[in-house]
Structures are given as structure tokens and as C-alpha cells.
């Protein structure tokens, strides 16, 4: 259902104004080698220019990232010693049997998130959850983005994270190893996690295209005149700039507005196939 997945999560914490971007292809599968398996306590993933952001944009500051629950995630997870780092690189993929140390040198990874224990609430596959960064990271859309994940233990070693296998034979977009301190990893893993993130306050958002909302005023649900039925990431924004909910949905489905939404004027941002659309919705 539209906006159901993260409505309570986003409403519970103060929200920095900004815009949500995402890499979330339709052909999703689940992998436990992101935040669960003991054999993947250190893993890196690479996103090429244009996959998450328009590669022609100026550098942007990222304040929050999102991942998606996969299979066997209803009970959630508890991750110990979770560390995240981000980096920009000119690499298009990792080399076969990639060495973590070489990758670090090339990307200039910077730690942006550190928790002794991180609780991830359970939910159905496809549910987005957020991790607020300790400090904003400047992302260069013209370069590939590397996300580095390290952890010591997971209470649910079977919990999957949704992702997509997106590269050709011989190219490596993920590197995994069993220990946080390993310098050599396997480049055979093919599932690149779906990734979303927020751009920090004060950064100019990408150009948006207007679309119609029908019916408008709306009660309960609304359709948007997107150009095709491909998956879209939708963000509901209040008149004062607060983000009230975030969800991934199909472009031509009826979007169900959150229950109990107060009457008033709202904006909906929809990111679909690299383009950002904006609609104004009046709720009665």
C-alpha cells in the first residue's frame, strides 16, 4: 500500500528537508549477504553514475540512507558493531577477487555511520528502513558510489535485504568477506542492494516535472499521470516541508493516502527511471 511501509518511521523522528532519490529496479531478489550472514561481515557495493542520481548534477550532500527488507525479515534484526562508509570512485566495477585495501585507496571511503548495536524493525519484503548518517556525505553524481558495510554479528542470520543483479558476466559490483578486518574478498556476489538516500537541507533538488493528480481534491487514494507504469519512489510532503511518508510503488497504481491525513495541501515527489515528478494534492 502506498506510504504504508515507512509512515510511522518517518513521522516519529525530526526530518531534515530535502529530496529522496533511489535505486530500486523492478526485478528484485533477496540476499542475506548484506546485514546478516557471518560470511559477509564486510561487504561493499558499487553503484554506477546515473543509477541513483542524474550524473549531470552538481555534488550533493547525503544525510540519510535507506535499504529494503527482503525475505525472512518479519522478525527484524539486531546488528552489532555496525559501521557504514561511503565513497566516490572512477571505477565502473570491482576487479575479480577484489582486494578491499585497494578499493579503499581508490575510493577514499569515509565512515558516516557507527553504532554499537542497531535494531532493524521487521516487516514484509520490500519495506524501506532508514539509517540517519552521523555526518553528511558529499556525493559526486558523475562518479560511481561505493557503500561499505561492516558488522560483527546479526541476531537473525537469515534476514535478507532486497537488491538486484545488474551486471554482465565478468564485472563485479559487490565484494564480500567474512571478517571486518579482511583485506581480500570474493567478487562473486551479484545482488546489489536497493538504495535510497536523502539530500541534506539547503541543496538544490534536481529539476522536477509536473504531473496531474486525479481525483483532486482527493479522499483516500489518488492516481498520478506518470509517463509509464514502471516502479516509482514516492514521498508525501506537508506544506511546511515535513516528509510524512515514503513508499515504493508501481507508476499507474492507485496510491492510498495515509489514514488520518489532515485536510490540506500536500506535495508528492515521484522518482521514476531517473526522472523526478511533482504533484500537488488537496486532501479533503
Report pLDDT digits (tens) over 142-167.
888 999 999 999 999 999 999 887 65
Per DSSP bridges, beta strands 275-283 and 208-210 are parallel
- More confident: 267 or 79: 79
| Same domain flag for 137 and 264 | no
| Same domain flag for 96 and 183 | yes
| Same domain flag for 139 and 36 | yes
Distance CA(250)–CA(67), nearest Å, equals 18
**Strands across the sheet containing 60-68:** 20-23, 195-199, 60-68, 128-139
Whole-model pTM: value is: 0.66
Judge whether 274 lies within some domain: yes
Tell which of 166, 199, 232 closes a domain. 199
Report pLDDT digits (tens) over 60-76.
888 888 898 999 998 99
pLDDT at residue 186 greater than cutoff 70: no
pLDDT at residue 90 greater than cutoff 80: yes
Q: Are 261 and 219 in contact (CB under 8 A)?
A: no
Q: What is the DSSP letter of 168?
A: -
Tell which of 199, 216, 237 closes a domain. 199
Tell which of 168, 199, 230 closes a domain. 199
236: CATH: 2.60.40.10
| Same domain flag for 175 and 232 | no
Range of the domain at 95: 20-199
Q: How many domains does the chain have?
A: 2
Could you give the residue ranges of the DSSP H alpha helices within 176-222? none
| Same domain flag for 174 and 276 | no
Amino acid at each position: 500500500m502506498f506510504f504504508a511501509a515507512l509512515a510511522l518511521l518517518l513521522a516519529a523522528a525530526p526530518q531534515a528537508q530535502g529530496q529522496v532519490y533511489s535505486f530500486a529496479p523492478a526485478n528484485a531478489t533477496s540476499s542475506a549477504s548484506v546485514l546478516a550472514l557471518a560470511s559477509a561481515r564486510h561487504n561493499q557495493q558499487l553503484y554506477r553514475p546515473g543509477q541513483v542520481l542524474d550524473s549531470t548534477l552538481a555534488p550533493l550532500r547525503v544525510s540519510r540512507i535507506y535499504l529494503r527488507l527482503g525475505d525472512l525479515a518479519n522478525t527484524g534484526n539486531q546488528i552489532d558493531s555496525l559501521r557504514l562508509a561511503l565513497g566516490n570512485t572512477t571505477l565502473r566495477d570491482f576487479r575479480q577477487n577484489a582486494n578491499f585495501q585497494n578499493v579503499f585507496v581508490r575510493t577514499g571511503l569515509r565512515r558516516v555511520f557507527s553504532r554499537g548495536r542497531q535494531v532493524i524493525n521487521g516487516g514484509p519484503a520490500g519495506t524501506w528502513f532508514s539509517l540517519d548518517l552521523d555526518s553528511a556525505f558529499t556525493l559526486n553524481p558523475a562518479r560511481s558510489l561505493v557503500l561499505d558495510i561492516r558488522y560483527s554479528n546479526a541476531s537473525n542470520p537469515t534476514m535478507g535485504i532486497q537488491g538486484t543483479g545488474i551486471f554482465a558476466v565478468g564485472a563485479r559490483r559487490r565484494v564480500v568477506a567474512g571478517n571486518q578486518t579482511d583485506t581480500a574478498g570474493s567478487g562473486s556476489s551479484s545482488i546489489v542492494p536497493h538504495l535510497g538516500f536523502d539530500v541534506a537541507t539547503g541543496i538544490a533538488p534536481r529539476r522536477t516535472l509536473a504531473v496531474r493528480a486525479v481525483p483532486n481534491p482527493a479522499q483516500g487514494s489518488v492516481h498520478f499521470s506518470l509517463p509509464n507504469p514502471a516502479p516509482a519512489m514516492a514521498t508525501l510532503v506537508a506544506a511546511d516541508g515535513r516528509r510524512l511518508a515514503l513508499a515504493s510503488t508501481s507508476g499507474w497504481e492507485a496510491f492510498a493516502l495515509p489514514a488520518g491525513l489532515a485536510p490540506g495541501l500536500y506535495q508528492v515527489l515521484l522518482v521514476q527511471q531517473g526522472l523526478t515528478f511533482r504533484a500537488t494534492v488537496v486532501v479533503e
